[in-house]
Chains A and B, each alone.
Chain A
Amino acid sequence: MTQIVRLITDPPSAGSWNMAVDQAILESANETGSVTLRFYQWTPATVSLGYFQSLESRDAHEPSAECPIVRRATGGGAIVHDRELTYSLCVPSRSRWADENQTLYTKMHSALIACLSTFNVTATLVEQPAEFAVEPFLCFERRAVGDVVCQNYKICGSAQRRIDKSILQHGSILLAKSESAPELPGINDLENKSISIDELQQQLLTQIRQSFDFEFEFGELSSSENAKVGEIQRNRFQSEAWTAKR
């Protein structure tokens, strides 16, 4: 059955605001059962830490030392958000332990692979996780099952936050190398392309519509979500206590 989905596209914004918006939408999904897909970018270039990463672990990554930092509510490794497109998808879930939560990674990443094929870019899902003595700081240097790779470089990884009756999954699609993470080439660097953020977003929407059977309605945050965003940004994602909690 076709699912009506609110589609939000936001201009480049601060990391703490971006994370607060995702959290507010997740809480709405928990209360109302609504589904929201959001596309956004970050300004300035920002490091987001995985929820369980220590703040001091960023010291090991010198190129991003000048970037502001925000701790995500989701797991995984750190991301330098710069020349990339970020998506978030909030969906209701019957249980935070259900298998289908796990398949959300594969479903979204498969839609991305189909999207990239329309630009003549070949990407695949990682089938075997890479094992490291110490997990790399950067998400894009890690390899989990279901990550998206192109020429053996990771170009998309996603992470989730699961609460009572809903899930937030967000992920970054690396379009081009950032000066703040020069070791990570993006799709355009690897494939000698010049795909724009808008082109990627439009094509990805088409693929998501088909694979998820979604019908999109352009929307924005409700007034109650907007009120929550300010509070969540202040009390959590902008707060020193939250950022330095580990």
Chain B
Amino acid sequence: MKPEDLLYAETHEWVHVGDDDVATIGISAFALEQLTDLVFMELPSVGDMATAGEAFGEVESVKAVSNLYSPVDGEIIDANTEIVDNLESLGDDPYGAGWIIKVKLSSRDALDKLMDHAAYEKQCAEEA
């Protein structure tokens, strides 16, 4: 997936919505660059419900545990458990092999609050 084609949450998660209303979610390259020495990740179970703006997982980097926030509402239908054992490779392909969860959307409402790539780039420039 190309970063230009994705939607982004203020909290730095990216979203790709397929024709089947399945949203693939990951962490942006900008956020991953700042997450040095990622040592642990906890993912939700398949079947759990994701709620926009609420935590769906957690990561630990340099003794800091951070929440991962869902940008969408729906049922979690897949979680990338392979990445949990290969966290060092997460930054190699954040928009491809580094996806984290897939969510079957129960509503598209939350998508309206997400940013396109240009707006997200602007946010990153302000935060850098």
Contact = CB atoms under 8 A, between A and B. Distances in A.
Interface of A: 50-52, 73-76, 94-99, 101-102, 105, 144-145, 157-164, 167
A73 B34 contact: no
Q: Specify the main secondary structure of chain B where it touches its partner.
A: strand
B65 A52 contact: yes
B34 A161 contact: no
Given A51-B60, A102-B62, A164-B11, A96 B67 contact: yes
Contact of A159 (B12, B55, B63): B63
Given A52-B39, A52-B40, A164-B11, A96 B63 contact: no
A99 B34 contact: yes
A74 B40 CA distance: 12
Nearest to B54: A164
B66 interface: yes
A163 B55 CA distance: 9
Contacts of B17: none
Contacts of B63: 50, 74-76, 105, 144, 157-160
B67 A164 contact: yes
Contacts of A160: 63-65
Given A52-B42, A159-B63, 15 more contacts: A50-B63, A51-B58, A51-B60, A75-B61, A75-B64, A94-B127, A95-B11, A97-B35, A97-B127, A102-B64, A157-B63, A161-B64, A161-B65, A163-B67, A167-B64
B31 interface: yes
Contact of B127 (A75, A98, A159, A167): A98
Contacts of B67: 96, 162-164
B62 A144 contact: yes
Contact of A95 (B61, B65, B127): B127
A75 B66 CA distance: 9
Contacts of A157: 63
Contacts of B60: 51-52, 75
Nearest to B69: A164
Interface string B46-66: 000000000100101111111
A74 B63 CA distance: 7
A164 B67 CA distance: 8
Nearest to B10: A95
B12 to A, nearest CB: 6
B58, B60, B61, B64: residue with the most chain A Cβ atoms closer than 10 Å: B64
A51 to B, nearest CB: 5
A144 B60 CA distance: 14
Nearest to A94: B127
A163 B64 CA distance: 10
A101 B65 CA distance: 12
